[in-house]
Chain A
């Protein structure tokens, strides 16, 4: 049992580049280690982008399959996770383009549980719903940048690597996204203050 645990620990702690080398050497099954390591991260990214769990799961799976297909082209100039993010982001953007919704505000009924009949809870739910809708209305590059920054915790430099743009561009996209959302939230701030 201890031996198994030790083996698992060794496998889990194996750096990405070693796992990739094993896959490229023909050990296809080793790719599962990478999938297990990043499946939550990529799924969460896709979920934030699509706000639909099933779509997010399918996109995340597709991202891993595409990563496997292109693994020989991964040169290790960035982290594997950055490279994987790039694949997933492109898939999400294509998905959003293909399934552009007419009224983004109406699609998200699960933002918060509004069973409690208190004004505060209701207001919070409405504000979250408006915020989610405002994020969906952002231009795609701003939306991706915001997601990577606010929810995935990437630095501006890492975002620039994922989106293959200048660091300043990534920073500007984030800035404009936050300012746009701030304008949307100002209406709720007025209500907060008057309440």
Chain B
């Protein structure tokens, strides 16, 4: 049997209908034989009822007219929300019922996949670039369509210095530089 203090600690749950059947019956039995707790329960019930029925300040007519349209106008200027690649990948893995209960495994699988791709890329021997001819005489530069080499294009800016080298200036020397 519970004391009055224990019962009063549960009166709010009782008033809110949060108690299970057994607990509710126990509280009701106590209230039926304890006038003080019964009064407390009634007062608490009145308070909750008054709070719940407290009128909300009136809203002027038309206050919410165009509410949704106004939000749409504002978000029209926003960047479109984008889901990250990681989330898309994990969401894709979640589509497999077997993997769904183990999100850590899903994450590890994606991580492993990305790691494998990265390692394969790193361990690949550098591919020889296509032959690129740079003609110093005609001042025309012919570059094969090779992005790797384009990234090194700033090297070509130093060609003026190379031109000053004696070997390139010697009569009869081949003035075409072959890069690979």
> A44–B50 Cα gap in the complex (Å)?
18
Whether B57 contacts A70 by the Cβ 8 Å rule is no
Tell me if B176 is interfacial: C-beta within 8 Å of chain A.
Answer: no
Given A24-B82, A31-B75, A68-B81, are A146 and B51 also a contact pair (CB < 8 Å)? yes
B59-77 interface bits toward A, Cβ cutoff 8 Å, 1 = contact, 0 = none? 1100110011011101110
Tell me if B168 is interfacial: C-beta within 8 Å of chain A.
Answer: no
Tell me if A111 is interfacial: C-beta within 8 Å of chain B.
Answer: yes
Whether B64 contacts A57 by the Cβ 8 Å rule is yes
A27 to chain B, nearest CB (A): 10
A123 to chain B, nearest CB (A): 12
Interface residues on chain B, number (Cβ under 8 Å)? 35
> A35–B44 Cα gap in the complex (Å)?
37
Given A127-B50, A181-B51, are A57 and B43 also a contact pair (CB < 8 Å)? no
Tell me if B80 is interfacial: C-beta within 8 Å of chain A.
Answer: yes
B67-96 interface bits toward A, Cβ cutoff 8 Å, 1 = contact, 0 = none? 110111011101111111001000000000
B43 to chain A, nearest CB (A): 7
Tell me if B12 is interfacial: C-beta within 8 Å of chain A.
Answer: yes
Residues of B within 8 A of A128 (CB): 50, 54-55
Tell me if A71 is interfacial: C-beta within 8 Å of chain B.
Answer: yes
> A121–B132 Cα gap in the complex (Å)?
96
Whether B55 contacts A111 by the Cβ 8 Å rule is yes
Tell me if A120 is interfacial: C-beta within 8 Å of chain B.
Answer: no
Whether B67 contacts A57 by the Cβ 8 Å rule is yes
Report A45-100 residues with CB < 8 Å from chain B CB: 47-48, 51-54, 57, 60-61, 64-65, 68-72
A127 to chain B, nearest CB (A): 7
Interface residues on chain A, number (Cβ under 8 Å)? 50
> A32–B73 Cα gap in the complex (Å)?
10
- Chain B residue with Cβ nearest A58: B70
Report B2-27 residues with CB < 8 Å from chain A CB: 12, 18
- Chain B residue with Cβ nearest A31: B75
Whether A53 contacts B59 by the Cβ 8 Å rule is yes
Tell me if A101 is interfacial: C-beta within 8 Å of chain B.
Answer: no
Whether B75 contacts A28 by the Cβ 8 Å rule is yes
Cβ-neighbour of A65 out of B47, B56, B71 (below 8 A): B71
Report A4-63 residues with CB < 8 Å from chain B CB: 23-24, 26, 28-29, 31-32, 35-36, 39-40, 43-44, 47-48, 51-54, 57, 60-61
Cβ-neighbour of B47 out of A69, A132, A185 (below 8 A): A185
Given A26-B80, A57-B63, A61-B70, are A131 and B55 also a contact pair (CB < 8 Å)? no
Given A57-B64, A65-B78, A174-B12, are A150 and B48 also a contact pair (CB < 8 Å)? yes
Q: Give 15 A-B pairs besides A72-B84, A178-B12 with Cβ atoms closer than 8 angstroms.
A: A24-B83, A26-B80, A39-B67, A47-B59, A61-B67, A61-B70, A64-B71, A69-B79, A128-B50, A131-B51, A135-B54, A156-B18, A174-B12, A185-B47, A186-B43
Which A residues form the contact surface with B (CB < 8 A)? 23-24, 26, 28-29, 31-32, 35-36, 39-40, 43-44, 47-48, 51-54, 57, 60-61, 64-65, 68-72, 108, 110-112, 127-128, 131-132, 135, 146, 150-151, 156, 174-175, 178, 181-182, 185-186, 189
